[in-house]
Amino acid sequence: MLVGEQPGDKEDIAGKPFVGPAGRILDQALAEAGIARSETFVTNAVKHFKHEMRGKRRLHKRPNAYEIERCRWWVDRERALVGPAVIVALGVTAAQSLLGRTVVIAALRGRPHALPDGTPVFVTIHPSYLLRIREEADRARAFRAFVADLQLAKSICEA
């Protein structure tokens, strides 16, 4: 199970998670990690697209703690229905929703964290972070680390 932040503009219009630019990066990373997206439940921690209008464009706004908490029961229900072997939290918002506290990705990345029911959660970056890295070498290095995080989570499923 992959949990992202919230729908973006493209996802809000399509009604599906990760179909925009960040979704293309996620698809590439999943493919390189050997994970079939078709066999992975993909959702978001916050179910609505929080945005502000700039002319005719809808620009993303980060959800606040209240919004994350109010949408948490959705993710809990999805977890109960899906019964994932492992969950990957894509970014701070997803990690906060799953773990119930404010988190720092660098402090939690690279190892599993157990939910109260024992489900392992891996915390990694949100693929949209990669879109904001200007230097190609830095972006490539961050992408490889992202793929490694996904492979680590996959190894739990295969164990």
Distance CA 2, CA 89 (A): 6
Q: What is the pTM of this model?
A: 0.92
Using DSSP's 3-state secondary structure scheme, residue 134 falls into: coil
Higher pLDDT, 65 or 121: 121
Give the number of domains in the chain. 1
DSSP 119: -
Range of the domain at 105: 2-158
Residue 109: phi and psi, rounded to 5, are -70, 145
Using DSSP's 3-state secondary structure scheme, residue 144 falls into: helix
Q: Taking phi first (over 0 means left), then psi (-120 to 50 degrees means alpha), and beta for anything else, what does residue 100 get?
A: left
pLDDT of residue 12: 75
Instruction: List the CATH number of the domain containing 69.
Output: 3.40.470.10
DSSP letters of 2-37?
EEES---HHHHHHTSSS-SHHHHHHHHHHHHHT--G
How many angstroms separate the Cα of 75 from the Cα of each of 7, 31, 53, 133? 14, 25, 28, 29
159: its two tokens: 């164990």
pLDDT of residue 54: 76
Per-residue pLDDT tens digits for 10-55: 887 888 999 999 999 999 999 999 999 999 999 999 887 665 767 8
Per-residue pLDDT tens digits for 79-116: 999 999 999 999 999 999 999 999 999 999 999 999 99
